[in-house]
Amino acid sequence: MKKESNFEAAPLRYAGVATLLRRPLVSDPSGVDIALIGVPYDGATENRPGARHGPREVRNMSSLTRSIHHVTRINPYDVCNIADLGDVNFSNPFDLQQCFTDITDFYRKIFEAGAMPLSVGGDHSISLPILRSVAAERPVGMVHIDAHTDTSDHEFGHKFTHGTPFRRALEEGFLDPKRTIQIGIRGAQNSEESWHGSEDAGIRVMYMEEFTSLGVEATIDEVRRVVGQGPTYISFDIDSIDPAFAPGTGTPEIGGMTPIQAQALIRGLAGLNLIGGDVVEVSPPFDPTGNTALVGATILYEIACILADVVAREKRS
């Protein structure tokens, strides 16, 4: 049996086997510039689960995506090699620490092959074991788009949940708080601890109200000021988008971004020293129309476009 599938997307978008952004499904990351990876894990969700089904449904809705960006007129698949590396395989889905180890090990192989990871969750806890691999050599900056800071110390006594990944990443030295910005934060909390977790660490926290009054362009200027030209990771929680557009998520908060704002914001990150990203918290059981997965797939495409630009610039230099 051949190890490599050599799968090619069918020309008809509704036909064939669904993959992330309709890229070839491969098992070997060598020669891949941008590795699309599914991380079907939601065992650290506090409230409504279901994000373990995110990668499969984002693959399904990826069938609607096409290649040439309507603003930049660039086809990211022409400028670099982007492939679907499949899903992280979990040896014991009931053991959270083992799942995190499985994720970190998977990404280490991607990293060693020289590919940039772009992931689909899964709940937001997956960003911690990804950062343990991607930021192993030095702390990185981060553009974090989310309704929540995810820098709580614990939830119900548990240190590893989808509300704590960036607190742990700060403690473990993978995130540079001075080069991290969180955008879209909103929604009532039962304690101010999760907001203090970011502000006390020195993270630039941009609440939804400030984002709304600044607008996308001035927000992009602020992102560039904060993260500078050091290595920067993008983490996109689908609950940053208003639940009118993206209801299928574990912790919806009204008063969020519109998809066009999020698209323009991501597009504005072009030219940064980007090292990878993730789109998390798409929960298909709460997504009856499928639109949340469509928003997730389209945001994935937007991030793929700016990562492809990084690869293209590296290849030219």
* Of 22, 23, 53, 124, the one binding Mn ion by CB under 5 A: 124
The answer to whether 278 contacts Mn ion (rule: CB under 5 A) is no
The answer to whether 242 contacts Mn ion (rule: CB under 5 A) is no
**Segment lying near Mn ion (by CB under 5 A), choices 25-33, 57-65, 79-87, 123-131:** 123-131
Closest separation in Å from C-beta 161 to Mn ion = 10
Map the footprint of Mn ion across residues 126-165, applying CB under 5 A. 146-148, 150
The answer to whether 186 contacts Mn ion (rule: CB under 5 A) is no
Which CB atom, from 147 or from 203, has the smaller least distance to Mn ion?
147
Which CB atom, from 41 or from 77, has the smaller least distance to Mn ion?
41
Which CB atom, from 102 or from 146, has the smaller least distance to Mn ion?
146
Closest separation in Å from C-beta 133 to Mn ion = 19
3-state secondary structure string, 243-254?
A: CCCCCCCCCCCC
* Of 237, 278, 302, 309, the one binding Mn ion by CB under 5 A: 237
Q: Which residues bind Mn ion (CB under 5 A)?
A: 124, 146-148, 150, 237, 239
